[in-house]
Amino acid sequence: MLKQISKEETAIVLDFLPHGYPFDTRPSHQKTPIVQAIGNDHFSLLELVPKKGIYLQPDQEVYIGEGKRDKIHHISGRLILSKLTQTAQSQLTPVLEKKIKEKEQKFVEFFNRSEPINTRRHQIELLPGIGKKHMWEILNAREEKEFTSFEDIKTRVKLIPNPEKLVLKRLLAELNNEDKYKLFIGS
């Protein structure tokens, strides 16, 4: 069965290049402005082309869904982390941190609903720095009572002082295609 590619409705601008990429060797009149952005819902890295005369700022939200778009002409495609400009890379972590706070319940739900991948590995172990000992502590704590917030996880699982940072590191690893499993990207 083919996995459906997740579509984004809105995206956050990471970088706006009004004259296209600097390494583009075409004459300047043939270059198109480029926007590097990250999707709001599924964290897809995207290359967008804005409409003529539109100037965008980093951290600005733009509509990219199926209906009439006011600022974006079209989506060129997906990007990989290494293709982001320096500006986009510097914007990425603060944008992700903000999204993690906004979608805290989604990530806390991961701690409550994660399952074994196979007989030897659990989804929780895909979080950077989490081994068997941490995993069992999380599983035992959630068996008593489901987690309600990041603060609740910090309080009840002593080995995890900062679950937000674990989620951030995992998001960056997934954006960098560091392994085949996707916990948060595209979901």
- In a domain, residue 159? The reply is yes
Q: Is residue 112 part of a domain?
A: yes
Q: What is the pLDDT of residues 83-140, one digit of tens each?
A: 999 999 999 999 999 999 999 999 999 999 999 999 999 999 999 999 999 999 999 9
Q: Within this chain, do residues 38 and 69 fall inside the same structural domain, yes or no?
A: yes
Considering the domain architecture, whether residues 70 and 107 belong to the same structural domain is answered as no
Interval 173-185: pLDDT, tens = 999 988 889 999 8
Q: Do 77 and 110 reside in the same domain of the chain?
A: no
52 or 187, which is more confident?
52
Answer whether residue 93 is part of any domain: no
72 and 121 part of one domain: no
Residue 110: domain span: 103-175
Would 167 be classed as within a structural domain?
yes
* pTM flag (> 0.95): no
Number of domains in the chain: 2
Between the alpha carbon of residue 96 and those of residues 22, 70, 119, the distances in Å are 26, 24, 32
- 55-73: pLDDT as tens digits: 999 999 999 988 889 999 9
Residues written for the chain: 187
Give the type of residue at 75.
I
CATH code of the domain covering residue 25: 2.40.50.140
